[in-house]
Amino acid sequence: NSWHLDTAYVQKSWNLGQGWFSRLALGYFEQAYGGIGLEALYYPVQSNWAVGMQGAALFKRSYYGLGLQSRVRKLTHKGPLYIPYTGLQFFVDLYYQYKPLQLDFKISAGQFLARDQGIRVEGGRVFASGLRVGLWGTFTNANDRVNGHRYYDKGLSITMPLDLCLHKSSRTRVGYAMSAWLRDCGAIGACGKQLYPTIFWERYNSKPVFY
Catalogue the long-range contacts made by 115-118 (C-beta closer than 8 Å, 24 or more residues apart).
115/88, 116/140, 116/141, 116/142, 116/184, 116/185, 116/186, 117/141, 118/142, 118/186
| pLDDT at site 210 | 46
| pLDDT at site 53 | 97
Give me the mean pLDDT over the 41-63 stretch: 94
| pLDDT at site 163 | 74
| pLDDT at site 211 | 41
Give the predicted TM-score (pTM) of the model: 0.87
Nearest-angstrom CA–CA distance, 161 and 68: 34
| pLDDT at site 208 | 57
| pLDDT at site 50 | 97
**Is pLDDT above 90 for 185?**
no
| pLDDT at site 167 | 73
Percentage of the chain surpassing pLDDT 90?
56
Interval 130-140: pLDDT, tens: 889 999 999 99
| pLDDT at site 108 | 97
| pLDDT at site 182 | 80
**Is pLDDT above 70 for 124?**
yes
CB half-sphere exposure, 203, CA atoms < 13 A: 14
Lowest mean pLDDT among 49-53, 110-114, 158-162: 158-162
Nearest-angstrom CA–CA distance, 76 and 125: 42
**Is pLDDT above 50 for 37?**
yes
What's the whole-number average pLDDT of the chain?
89
Interval 80-94: pLDDT, tens: 888 888 899 999 999
Give me the mean pLDDT over the 114-134 stretch: 92
Nearest-angstrom CA–CA distance, 72 and 112: 16
CB half-sphere exposure, 52, CA atoms < 13 A: 27
| pLDDT at site 126 | 92
Residues forming a β-bridge with 28 = 8, 34
Nearest-angstrom CA–CA distance, 20 and 199: 11
Kind plus residue range of the DSSP H or E element containing 199: helix 195-205
**Is pLDDT above 50 for 199?**
yes
pLDDT band of 172, cuts 50, 70, 90: confident
Residue 62 is given by DSSP the state: P
Nearest-angstrom CA–CA distance, 87 and 117: 13
Give me the mean pLDDT over the 53-59 stretch: 96
